[in-house]
Structure 1
Amino acid sequence: MNILVTGGAGFIGSHTCLELLNAGHDVIVVDNLSNSSEESLKRVKELTGKDILFYQADLLDYGALDKIFDENVVDAVIHFAGLKAVGESVSIPLRYYHNNLTGTFNLLDCMQKHGVFNLVFSSSATVYGTPEKLPITEDFPLSTTNPYGTTKLMIEQILQDLYVSDSRFSIVILRYFNPIGAHESGRIGEDPRGIPNNLLPYIAQVATGKLKQVSVYGNDYPTVDGTGVRDYIHVVDLSIGHLKAIEKKAGNPGVYIYNLGTGRGYSVLEMIHAFEKACGKELPYQIIDRRPGDVAACYSNPEKAKSELDWSAKYDIEKMCQDAWNWQSHNPEGYRQ
């Protein structure tokens, strides 16, 4: 298939492009490079020996997007593009709503106009809000605690309404938990701009000496060691989930929703200690006050994806940390060498 990947130069996007190419698909990437680097795509080409057609364009630019569909035969779309920092979304909500929603409107309009009806959408476990019990299944009540999560939930609703209006669409919504790790080659990985928002890239930068210590928000939760527990998933496992979604559901009209996680939670301290093992050194950390809005634990039930997509996570926490350290230690400045 010819697959258009929006946000394909980003962390999850670049790894997914690699898996698509290795599976024999052709890939077209549209990315505005606001939080990513074209270098990631160059390295994907090196690793696969295959080409990627790249357009530097913004989904807010309808004309540019329409031109991409005019110039290419597109069989399916994987939609990653969007602003994604939870904290930032609280301080500049209008920018998040405009960017994430309007970009998606433009994309869906172009798809419908050009007769492209296969879509995989990058959603998030944030749509579950504060879950009342664990593990989380796809039929849990939905709610959000920040504008970023709300954009994901609103887009999910838009996609449901779109299918009701046009039953030619095959739409897969993937709600994923906490992607970490990197490709085992160490050539592509997570490259956050500025101070990382997420735990593992922050730990990795402490390990390289770029940051002083890890701040652990609270150690009085009802968990194994008092620190918050989350479901971490290797980015390669996650990318293969997108490949499976395209291959299993393209051409099958409907809206399909899946959790992508390991089904197992790890605490913040367990993550720090696993990364210490990977990098071979002790990492300094400091216990500080809880953050408002954080839940004690959050992890998935991924059985639906296993039964319907023939997908399950293969890599454990040791492998996630080893691959993340391999990337970080060989690329301390990310793609900006």
Structure 2
Amino acid sequence: MTAPSTVLVTGGAGFIGSHTCVELLDHGYEVIVVDDYSNSTPQVFAQVERITDRFVGAVYELDIRDRASLSAVFDRHSVDAVVHFAAHKAVGESSRSPVEYYDANVGGTTSLLRVMRHHGVRQLVFSSSCSVYGDAARVPLDEAAPARPTNPYAASKWICEQILADVCARVPGFAVLCLRYFNPVGAHPSGQLGESPLGTPENLMPYLAQVAVGRKPDLRVFGDDYDTPDGTAIRDYLHVMDTAEAHRLALDHLADGPGMRIFNLGTGQGHSVLDVTAAFGVACGTPIPYRVVGRRPGDVAELVADAGAVARAWGWRPTRGLDDMCRDLWRFQRLHPLGYQLPARRHRFLPGRA
């Protein structure tokens, strides 16, 4: 088994997907992207090309559940491996729309696997999540911790992992690297590429950025009565560029052999919602207003990674901290106050550093 050179990235216009495209192009890979733009925009590819001075080989707008259209992409390109990001990803939304989440996340994965098998592609890097651990009895969490998903998003990722394990057990030569990552945030350090969700952000950091730039009046803190030092939920935040680097290394390590391997990606350090809010206020030069509301269904008190396994296996460790994450996200938000699609002149910034 050799390391792949042409990589299909599903969901490549999304936050982590687009940063991974930058990482892959910077390291000589040929990149093909499919995305349905349900929570992204094709405008990111101009930014990717601006950063890397390379073009994405081809971009196709399609839903990966459309097997005929997806198969046509494999017909046109000699794909060596797939990095699979395409999925819905918000905990709160999944509790409101569970059927849609199972359909998109599980149905999309099985569709992709059927097309890959038909075309003889047997190398996959899967975007999983720390949320599969659920309400953990202890932290930090290593890969041996039991899966206890508490919401449909987490359950959909766990089901996908089980499907992939079954495929690896029954299809000779099939190799999967499953990456469970802990809250990727931040932006490309150039400020040209970052997270620009359509509609109201469901995750903390992009919501903070929209408050700082004046698009939202304040941050809603979902619960301050958790069993944590300040009562707010604790998470292990990982810079998106560290996350992208780990995906590129995973592609290199698919050549280690067939079967399924699971690795946590995280820093091993937890930060509460109020910690992150304070750090982002420092980055943008003004305190972020917030108000406490009730807990959000499906949330848990604390998720922090033990990422020792991937460090031992690949020598990979994250190199960027919370201050870097906040600084890079704020740089992106300043340059794109209304995202990629709308003119900046129609909005205001909170007072503070420009």
How far off its partner does 1:257 sit?
Answer: 0.2
- What TM-score comes out, normalization by structure 2 length? 0.93
1:147-182 Cα distance to aligned partner (Å, 9 max, x none): 111111111000000011113111000001111100
CA deviation profile, 1:275-313 (whole Å, cap 9, x unmatched): 111001121112333334432221000111111122111
Q: Distance in 2 between matches of 1:322 and 1:274?
A: 9
Counterpart Cα distance in 1 of 2:85 and 2:304: 22
Give, in angstroms, the shift of residue 226 of structure 1. 2.4
Residue 221 of structure 1, CA deviation:
2.8
Gaps spanning 5+ residues in structure 1: where?
A: none
Structure 1 pair 85–220 and aligned structure 2 pair: CA distance change class (3 A) = closer
Q: Which residue of 2 is the match for residue 204 of structure 1? A: 209
Q: Output the CA distance in 1 between the equivalents of 2:279 and 2:8.
A: 36
Please name the residue that 1:290 is paired with: 295
Give the conservation status (yes or no) of the 8 Å contact 1:76–1:250: no
Does the CA-based 8 Å contact 2:92-2:296 persist in structure 1?
no
Alignment-mate amino acid for residue 250 of structure 2: A
Question: In the alignment, is residue 17 of structure 1 matched against residue 21 of structure 2?
Answer: yes
1:173 matched to 2:178? The reply is yes
Aligned position for 1:95: 100
How many pairs align?
Answer: 337
Tell whether the 8 Å contact from 2:238 to 2:267 is kept in structure 1 after alignment. yes
Q: Does 2:78 match 1:73?
A: yes
Q: 2:8 matched to which residue of 1? A: 4
C-alpha separation between the residues in 1 aligned to 2:301 and 2:93? 22
Deviation digits for residues 200-221 of structure 1 (CA, Å, limit 9, x no counterpart): 1111111111111112223333
3-12 vs 147-156, which moves further: 147-156
* More displaced 10-residue stretch of structure 1: 65-74 or 96-105: 96-105
Report the TM-score, using the length of structure 1 for normalisation.
Answer: 0.97
Percent of pairs identical after alignment?
Answer: 47
Residue number in structure 2 paired with 1:122: 127
Letter in 2 for 1:121: F
Give the AA of the match of 2:158.
L
**Separation (CA, whole Å) in 2 of partners of 1:74 and 1:293:** 37
* Aligned with residue 330 of structure 1, among 326, 335, 352: 335
Give the SS at the match of 2:124. Answer: strand
Residues 11, 87 of structure 2: 8 Å contact kept = yes
Which residues of structure 2 form unaligned runs of 5+?
343-354
Q: Does 1:250 align with 2:234?
A: no
Counterpart of 1:127, as a letter, is V
SS in 2 for 1:38: coil
SS across alignment from 1:171? strand
Checking the alignment, whether the CA contact within 8 Å between 1:31 and 1:56 is kept in structure 2 is yes
Whole-angstrom distance in 1 between the partners of 2:90 and 2:287: 29
Answer whether contact 1:6 1:80 (CA < 8 A) is retained: yes
Q: How does 1:28-39 map to 2 (within 5 A)?
A: 28-39=32-43
Aligned residue for 1:283, secondary structure, equals coil
Match of 2:264 among 256, 259, 266: 259
1:86 to 84, 91, 99: 91
Choose from 284, 299, 302 the match for 1:279: 284
Choose which of 114, 136, 145 in structure 1 pairs with 2:141.
136
The counterpart of 2:317, out of the listed 312, 316, 321, is 312
Q: 1:50 to 1:201 in 2, by over 3 A?
A: same
Corresponding residue number in structure 2 for 1:27: 31
Moved over 4 A (4+): none
| Residue in structure 1 matched with residue 53 of structure 2 by the alignment | 49
Q: Relative to structure 1, is the Cα distance of residues 288 and 32 closer, same or farther in structure 2, using a 3 angstrom cutoff? A: closer
Cα-to-partner distance string for 1:57-107 (whole Å, 9 max, x where unaligned):
111111111111111111110000011222222222222212222221121
Distance in 2, matches of 1:208 and 1:91, equals 28
Bigger mean CA deviation after superposition, 232-241 or 93-102? 93-102
- Contact map agreement 1:244 1:310 (CA 8 A) in 2: no
Q: What RMSD, in angstroms, separates the aligned Cα atoms of the two structures?
A: 1.2
Q: Secondary structure at the match of 1:329?
A: helix
Secondary structure at the residue paired with 2:193?
coil
Contact preservation (8 Å) 2:9, 2:82: yes
The AA in structure 1 aligned to 2:229 is: V
Deviation at 1:251, TM superposition (A): 5.7
Q: Distance in 2 between matches of 1:109 and 1:172?
A: 18
